[in-house]
Homo-oligomer: A and B are copies of this chain.
């Protein structure tokens, strides 16, 4: 009888867990730290929540991929990579990254735009354009910081460049939208029900 008694930790690592292992290569970190690091470094193309992180940590500690270190101040619980964890990560990282998942609610609303009150649609578009512009500005700031700070990790640079390229493309797209969608057709109206 092959698959007996729970088969511990033989499953393929999920991408979120793997990324945590990746970060842990830099030294022991707590769940809190990992959330921060992840948000900063991969947050724009790989979202994760605290709950998820704590759960993955528990699971991985259980599977022996990480080991709890000494409790720090407050309730800090740093985890360190084990050799198994290092091996599991090395294995994961050689696997073909899956296809991207993109879900853009705004596009869904636009696609169904026929049924959306035009001034509402224009509001949505405007709000999202603003948000994207802010993101672009943030990315460009990060690029400048990296350049002036002498930081030159080509990998981080590449992902940041992706963000910039993406946001620029999106902004151009916004700016090319017809007035029927952007709402430029009513240059007077500013009020609202």
* Chain A contact residues, CB within 8 Å of chain B: 15, 18-19, 22, 25, 41-42, 44-47, 89-90, 93-94, 96-117, 120, 124, 127-128, 131, 153-156, 158-159, 161-162, 165-166, 168-170, 172-173, 176-178, 180-181
* Chain B residues whose C-beta falls within 8 Å of the C-beta of A94 in the assembled complex: 116-117, 120
* Chain B residues whose C-beta falls within 8 Å of the C-beta of A162 in the assembled complex: 104, 107, 170, 173
Contact call A165/B156, Cβ cutoff below 8 A: no
Closest to A167 in B: B169
Contact call A105/B98, Cβ cutoff below 8 A: yes
11 additional A-B pairs beyond A100-B102, A100-B106, A110-B159, beta carbons within 8 Å, are A46-B108, A97-B106, A100-B104, A101-B101, A101-B102, A110-B155, A113-B155, A113-B158, A114-B155, A154-B181, A165-B169
Q: How many copies does the complex hold?
A: 2
Closest to A173 in B: B165
Contact call A180/B154, Cβ cutoff below 8 A: yes
Contact call A93/B107, Cβ cutoff below 8 A: no
Partner of A155, one of B111, B155, B172: B111
Contact call B178/A96, Cβ cutoff below 8 A: no
Closest to A22 in B: B112
